């Protein structure tokens, strides 16, 4: 931009305004940040201790058993091989730290995203407000989320989990809203014909049918949490991200490859498990089953009339 252009367009100190807003938040609601820090420290440290309490050689078959029950024997075998490889690379403890961070961040992101997505699905006004906010959050570079996190919580695992929750939130909201809106209107009308209230239709018809889409959103939340957990290593969050940052700073290719491979193995494991949980199964005797039976009877009656 030329000097002449500079004089025509005055500078808007947006960054200064936001910085002032952060200062106001720190001065007036520091108690809230302290409470969040205490809760996150307790949950993540506690979960990490639980995960590391079990010896690795006993935990690996347990993780494989979970994969066998929820998915297939192929994933169970892949889990055994992959996790033993992680143990052999001496990345087991860091992988458990990353798993704890990802699970806690995913839990809080889902607890926020699913109710917000449901509210957006049933209320067009909320949807019109939420969509641009989600667009803004998804297009914002991941590193930018570390700035307010460090401002509010200094360095450590808490700013890492805070930035991870914010970064992973949008797909959960979007997929929940999409899943509910895609439920066939005739199925909803059949539920209304049985005299079901709006809340009963939501719980008995729309949410069960939206489970696969919602779980796809949860899957994306987990994947984004993993990617952000690695970035969070830059602000001192323990785990594989810290190993990657150390490998970059010391140009240690071997450490970087090992930590990166451990991230991939953990990502595949969590991805396959959440994909397996996306099957809603049967809802016999539920409002959904009655509505589907009503639709089938209506279709049969229509076919008989046509004949």
**What is the secondary structure of 162-215 as a DSSP string?**
HHHHHHHHHHHHHHHHHHHHTS-HHHHHHHHHTT--HHHHIIIIIHHHHHHHHH
Contact between 117 and 173 under an 8 Å Cβ cutoff? The reply is yes
> Among the ranges 46-50, 191-195, 287-291, which has the highest mean pLDDT value?
46-50
Between 3-7, 44-48, 135-139, the lowest mean confidence (pLDDT) is in 3-7
Measured distance CA(101)–CA(240) in Å, rounded:
11
Q: Collapse the DSSP code of 152 into the 3-class scheme (helix H, G, I; strand E, B; otherwise coil) and give the result.
A: helix
Share of the chain above pLDDT 70, in %: 87
pLDDT above 80 (res 191) = no
Model confidence over 269-283: pLDDT tens digits? 988 888 777 654 444
Q: How many independent structural domains does the chain possess?
A: 1
Residue 214 lies in a domain: yes
Q: Domain containing 267 — which CATH number?
A: 1.10.3720.10
Distances (CA, A) of 217 to 167, 199, 279, 301, 303: 13, 22, 13, 38, 38
pLDDT above 50 (res 17) = yes
Instruction: Give the residue numbers spanning the domain of 27.
Output: 15-53+89-306
Confidence class for position 285, pLDDT limits 50, 70, 90: very low
Q: Collapse the DSSP code of 284 into the 3-class scheme (helix H, G, I; strand E, B; otherwise coil) and give the result.
A: coil
Q: For the residues of 123-142, what is the DSSP string, one character each?
A: -HHHHHHHHHHHHHHHHS-G
150-160: average pLDDT: 82
Residue 59 lies in a domain: no
Q: For the residues of 229-297, what is the DSSP string, one character each?
A: HHHGGGGT--SHHHHHHHHHHHT-HHHHHHHHHHHHHHHHHHHHHHHHTT-----TTSHHHHHHHHHHH
Model confidence over 226-246: pLDDT tens digits? 888 778 888 878 888 888 888
pLDDT above 70 (res 18) = yes
Say what the alpha-carbon torsion angle 98, 104, 107, 110 is, to the nearest 10 degrees. Answer: -70
Residue 218 lies in a domain: yes
Residue 74 lies in a domain: no
pLDDT above 80 (res 247) = yes
Which residue, among 212, 211, 208, 206, has the nearest Cα to 284 in the 3D structure?
A: 208
Residue 69 lies in a domain: no
Residue 72 lies in a domain: no
211-237: average pLDDT: 84
Residue 9 lies in a domain: no
Residue 60 lies in a domain: no
Measured distance CA(180)–CA(214) in Å, rounded:
9
What's the pTM value of the predicted model, to 2 decimals?
A: 0.81
Confidence class for position 303, pLDDT limits 50, 70, 90: very low
- The CA-based angle 189-192-193, given to 5 degrees, is 90
Confidence class for position 6, pLDDT limits 50, 70, 90: low
- What φ, ψ does residue 123 adopt, rounded to 5°? -135, 115
pLDDT of residue 287: 55
């Amino acid at each position: 931009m030329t000097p002449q252009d500079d004089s025509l367009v005055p500078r808007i100190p947006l960054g200064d305004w936001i910085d002032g807003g952060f200062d106001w938040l720190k001065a007036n609601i520091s108690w809230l940040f302290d409470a969040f820090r205490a809760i996150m420290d307790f949950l993540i440290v506690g979960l990490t201790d639980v995960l590391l309490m079990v010896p690795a050689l006993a935990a690996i078959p347990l993780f494989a058993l979970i994969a066998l029950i929820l998915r297939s024997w192929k994933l169970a075998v892949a889990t055994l091989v992959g996790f033993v490889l992680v143990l052999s690379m001496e990345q087991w403890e860091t992988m458990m730290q990353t798993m704890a961070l990802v699970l806690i961040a995913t839990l809080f992101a889902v607890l926020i995203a699913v109710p917000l997505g449901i509210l957006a699905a049933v209320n067009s006004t909320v949807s019109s407000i939420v969509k641009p906010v989600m667009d803004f959050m998804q297009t914002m570079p991941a590193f930018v989320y570390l700035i307010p996190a460090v401002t509010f919580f200094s360095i450590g695992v808490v700013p890492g989990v805070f930035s991870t929750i914010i970064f992973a939130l949008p797909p959960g909201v979007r997929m929940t809203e999409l899943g509910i809106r895609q439920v066939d209107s005739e199925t909803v009308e059949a539920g209304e014909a049985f005299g079901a209230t709006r809340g009963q239709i939501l719980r008995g018809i729309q949410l069960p049918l939206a489970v696969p889409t919602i779980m796809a959103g949860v899957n994306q939340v987990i994947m984004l949490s993993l990617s952000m957990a690695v970035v969070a290593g830059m602000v001192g969050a323990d785990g594989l991200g810290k190993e990657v940052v150390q490998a970059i700073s010391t140009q240690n290719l071997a450490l970087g490859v090992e930590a990166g491979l451990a991230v991939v193995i953990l990502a595949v494991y969590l991805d396959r498990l959440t994909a397996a949980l996306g099957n809603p199964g049967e809802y016999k005797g539920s409002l959904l089953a009655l509505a589907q039976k009503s639709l089938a009877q209506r279709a049969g009656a229509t076919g008989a009339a046509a004949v």
